[in-house]
Structure 1
Amino acid sequence: MMSISNEGRSASVEGRILDAAADCVLAFGVDRVTLAEIARRATISRPTVYRRFPDTRSILAALLTARITRALDSVPSTGVGRVPLVERVVGVAQAIRWDDVVMSVLYQDPNLAMSYLSERLGTSQQMLLDTVAAEIRAAQDQGSVRSGDVRQLAVMCLLITQSTILAAHMVEAILPSDDLVAQLTLALNGYLAP
Structure 2
Amino acid sequence: MTSLRHNALAVELARAAGLDPRLDPYLDAARACILDVGWRRTTLTEVARRAGVSRMTIYRAWPDMRALMADLMTREWGTVVAAGVRTGTIADGVVAVVRHLRDNELFTRIVELDPELLLPYLLDRRGRSQQAILESLTHRIAEQQKLGEVRTGDPGAIARTMLLMGHGFVLSLHTMVEDDLSEEALLDELHTMVTRHLAP
Class of the TM-score when normalised by the shorter of the 2 chains: 0.7 to 0.9
Following superposition, the deviation at residue 181 of structure 1 comes to: 1.7
Aligned to 1:50: 59
Aligned to 1:187: 193
Alignment equivalent of 2:159, drawn from 145, 154, 160:
154
1:1-194 correspondence runs (5 A)? 13-75=22-84, 77=86, 84-173=89-178, 175-194=181-200
Following superposition, the deviation at residue 13 of structure 1 comes to: 4.3
Which letter maps to 1:15?
Answer: D
CA distance in 1, matches of 2:189, 2:84: 19
8 Å contact kept, 2:138–2:156: yes
Following superposition, the deviation at residue 146 of structure 1 comes to: 1.5
**In the superposition, relative to structure 1, how do residues 106 and 166 fare at CA in structure 2: closer, same or farther (>3 Å)?**
same
Which letter maps to 1:122?
Answer: G
Provide the secondary structure at the position in 2 that maps to 1:169: helix
The more displaced of 149-158 and 26-35 is 26-35
The more displaced of 158-167 and 27-36 is 27-36
8 Å contact kept, 1:72–1:92: yes
8 Å contact kept, 2:174–2:183: no
Following superposition, the deviation at residue 190 of structure 1 comes to: 2.2
8 Å contact kept, 2:87–2:96: no
**In the superposition, relative to structure 1, how do residues 77 and 120 fare at CA in structure 2: closer, same or farther (>3 Å)?**
same
8 Å contact kept, 1:60–1:105: no
Detail structure 1 runs of 4+ shifted over 6 Å in the superposition: none
Aligned to 2:11: none
CA offsets per residue over residues 29-71 of structure 1, 9 Å max, x none?
2221111111111111111111111111111121111111101
Aligned to 2:15: none
Structure 2 runs not aligned, ≥5 long: 8-20
Give the number of equivalent residue pairs.
184
CA distance in 2, matches of 1:76, 1:150: 16
CA distance in 2, matches of 1:41, 1:171: 39
CA distance in 2, matches of 1:162, 1:76: 15
8 Å contact kept, 2:137–2:159: yes
8 Å contact kept, 1:146–1:192: yes
8 Å contact kept, 2:74–2:129: yes
The more displaced of 127-136 and 31-40 is 31-40
Provide the secondary structure at the position in 2 that maps to 1:31: coil
8 Å contact kept, 2:85–2:97: no
CA offsets per residue over residues 93-126 of structure 1, 9 Å max, x none?
2111100102222442232211133311111111
Superposition RMSD in Å = 2.3
